[in-house]
Amino acid sequence: MKTKNMILGSLILSIVFITSISSRNDNNSVSISPKVQDTLITGQELFRLNCAGCHGTDLGGNPPNYPALTDIKDKLTKEEIRIQIKKGKGMMPPMSHLSDNEINAIVNYLFGENGNEQVTMVAALSPIEQGEMLFKSNCAGCHRASSNDPKPQNSGTQMCSMMEPAVLAGASKRFTKEEFLNILETGPCYMPSFSYLNKEEKEALYAYLKTLEGKGEAKRPTMGEKCPMIKKGRSCCGGGQN
């Protein structure tokens, strides 16, 4: 595994290096080409960031609600999967914010086509943009960003303990960054744990939520305000077990 990572690391470095050299020759100038700022990422990583919350980092899913994707290539064509990612289905939210490039990398990974080693060039994201992408893929099915947004598709279903989870504009005022990290680590009530996201990724989510302050915040006190246990990442529903 270590060696794989090292190979991947040096591959990424050399590609970035080659791109920067060639762009210098092409333009006859030393200005940084946009390609250099783009990011190389594997389909597997994109899957972790956008799909693993429901389908598992190992594609095992969480049946019966969240199907396993291990043998998906025997069931659906690549095109069918691309359409399902863009449009969503049932409790799977549409992910129209992903680029074709990103979707193709994910689908190739699902088809077992060098997901580990193959790197795909995608547009580099600032932490706030990364937070927004993570929000849309992982949180928007249950939480509205702003109370001006339409109701999330899964609110009021069993998936969200039959209610609508808090609007997240203003969550960065209700919770310190540390409290927010606790909440994501365990996931209170019916909220899943996001322990497979690393600290930077969780902080990117927090940075995105900060940009929502004052933009349609929750009108009534949220459960996190009424129940301080939430700040420690503990549940307040169903007897506080989690």
Per CB under 6 A, residues contacting ligand HEC are 50-51, 53-55, 65-67, 69, 72, 75-76, 81, 84-85, 89-93, 95, 106, 137-139, 141-143, 159-161, 165-166, 168, 171, 174-175, 180, 183-184, 188-192, 194, 205, 222-224, 230
Distance CA 236, CA 39 (A): 40
Distance CA 223, CA 185 (A): 17
* Least Cβ distance, residue 231 to ligand HEC (angstroms): 9
Residue at token pair 């994201």: 125
Which of 200, 23, 193, 17 has its CA nearest to residue 125? 200
* Least Cβ distance, residue 18 to ligand HEC (angstroms): 29
* Least Cβ distance, residue 168 to ligand HEC (angstroms): 6
Distances in whole angstroms, Cα of residue 72 to Cα of each of 5, 124, 159, 194 = 26, 29, 24, 24
Q: Which is nearer to ligand HEC, 166 or 212 (CB)?
A: 166
* Least Cβ distance, residue 72 to ligand HEC (angstroms): 5
Residue at token pair 């009534």: 220
Q: Hey, what are 206's tokens? A: 């927090």
Q: Which is nearer to ligand HEC, 15 or 61 (CB)?
A: 61
